[in-house]
Chain A
């Protein structure tokens, strides 16, 4: 069975410092990996995805993520965090052999960026 883990419930970082949000997965075959962000009282917003090709994926708002097959990880990164990046971040995986509909989401990581 597939699973997604976000080992940190919360990440605290000072504005201007690098931000990393961790995600590891367990699936059969090569997964499709996604990151979404949830701001208060709003829906989930797509940030980026890895399908195939270059392991470093660039997405919206200056975020990027690195796919590491050997470590089964897909950590989200931003070189210089902003206060406005404070939100709830979700990693999701779609196993390639599974139903089209089944995104498996992690439990989420709350990011707090302090001025």
Chain B
């Protein structure tokens, strides 16, 4: 597609349920990133992939959070046993992966997660 897409756009779930958030990057983009953005704050890095390999997951807050990108394209961020503190906007970004650290990341619209 023309840009990064994420689904669902909104997710309301009950505490203790698992949720899966999907990101479809810009076609051909090698690198994919997940961020979490709390209200009134800037995005906070969670994890990133080059192709299907998870290169850095140091931002994942605990072991309830996991991410995969099995075919090097679409990625899923999974939160198990959700807690109210997980409520936030979850953003995905992609970049071409050809220019290293100087390249621009392009963001999707985000998934707003609300845990009741």
Contact = CB atoms under 8 A, between A and B. Distances in A.
Interface in B27-74: 31, 33, 35, 40-45, 47-48, 50, 55-56, 58-59
Nearest to B46: A101
A92 B101 contact: no
Contacts of A45: 107
A108 B41 contact: yes
B55 A107 contact: no
Report which residue of A43, A51, A107 has the largest number of chain B beta carbons within 10 angstroms of its beta carbon: A43
Nearest to A36: B107
B79 interface: no
A57 to B, nearest CB: 12
A43 B41 contact: no
Given A43-B4, A96-B101, A105 B43 contact: yes
B108 interface: yes
Nearest to B5: A43
A14 B102 CA distance: 34
A77 B104 CA distance: 20
Contact of B45 (A36, A44, A102, A107): A102
Interface in B6-43: 31, 33, 35, 40-43
A43 B25 CA distance: 13
Contact of A51 (B43, B45, B102, B110): B102
A49 B102 contact: yes
Interface of B: 3-4, 31, 33, 35, 40-45, 47-48, 50, 55-56, 58-59, 91, 93, 100-102, 104-110
Given A32-B102, A99-B56, A102-B56, 13 more contacts: A32-B101, A44-B43, A46-B104, A51-B102, A90-B43, A94-B101, A96-B101, A101-B31, A102-B59, A103-B45, A105-B43, A107-B41, A107-B42
18 contacts: A43-B91, A43-B108, A43-B109, A44-B107, A46-B105, A49-B102, A51-B102, A99-B48, A99-B58, A100-B48, A101-B31, A101-B45, A101-B48, A101-B55, A102-B56, A103-B105, A105-B42, A107-B40
Report the 10 A-B pairs with minimum CB-CB distance, sorted nearest first. A105-B42, A101-B48, A43-B107, A44-B107, A43-B109, A51-B102, A99-B56, A101-B56, A105-B43, A46-B104
